[in-house]
Amino acid sequence: MAFNILTSPGDILIVDDLADNLRVLSDTLSREGHRVRAVRNGPMALVGAKAAPPDVILLDIRMPTMDGFEVCRQLKADAITQHIPIIFLSALDEAVDKARAFEAGGVDYITKPFQADEVQARVRHQLTIQQLRQQVMAQQSQLETLTQSVANQPAPSEFSLRSMTCAANTILACADDLAQNHTLGAEQIPCLQAVQQHGQVICDLLATLEG
């Protein structure tokens, strides 16, 4: 059983103080089928992201009132928005600027002037990672349900044991496929490891009961 990758368009929030950049980026991503929102300053980005968290944020650095670094830090400090991947998009191309962006919590960095195909590819990549993360969390929830089922069933039948073993093995196979065939961000790796560890515990427990 493999993970399904990017089956639906994403909700993208673009933050840039220049109207021309917002227009070009909006057109570029809309052509991919994404739902696009655009704001022109940091405070509006914080309000919009918290009210309706997007799947990905494209964030300029040089903006009045609040720069992109501070916007990113505040988003990462809020439980509602901390898991949203942030792609910085800026004319600043020095290594120190990129380092600051990643230290603030960004996951990627695109240097202006940008190419449409590069923006589309990088956004698509982050959406894929987000979807994989959601699937990992769903698998973890299934494992927890399976754990409770085993714990609450003092004398499971042979059929029940086979069914639960099959379910646990399927979840482990999905986790292994994800680990081997897909690129994960730092936030997703612990989730995957938890799925693998819990899944193995369930398999070991079921093997003991079957024996």
Domain limit, last residue, from 83, 114, 145: 114
109 plus 144 within the same structural domain: no
Q: What is the pLDDT of residue 7?
A: 55
Is 120 among the domain residues? no
Q: What is the pLDDT of residue 133?
A: 75
Q: What is the pLDDT of residue 91?
A: 92
Q: What is the pLDDT of residue 135?
A: 75
Rounded to whole angstroms, how far apart are CA atoms 80 and 118?
Answer: 28
Domain limit, last residue, from 55, 87, 114: 114
Rounded to whole angstroms, how far apart are CA atoms 105 and 203?
Answer: 37
Q: Can you list the residues of the chain whose pLDDT is less than 50? A: 1-4, 6, 159
| Residue-range definition of the domain harbouring residue 56 | 11-114
Question: Looking at the whole model, is its pTM more than 0.75?
Answer: no
Domain count, the chain: 2
Helix residue spans in the chain (DSSP H): 19-30, 42-51, 68-77, 95-104, 116-151, 158-181, 189-210
Q: What is the pLDDT of residue 32?
A: 92
End-to-end CA distance of the chain: 27
Q: What tens digit of pLDDT does each residue of 54-79 get?
A: 999 999 999 998 999 999 999 999 99
15 plus 109 within the same structural domain: yes
Q: What is the pLDDT of residue 184?
A: 60
What's the chain's length in residues?
Answer: 211
Q: Are 120 and 128 in contact (CB under 8 A)?
A: no
Q: What is the pLDDT of residue 19?
A: 96
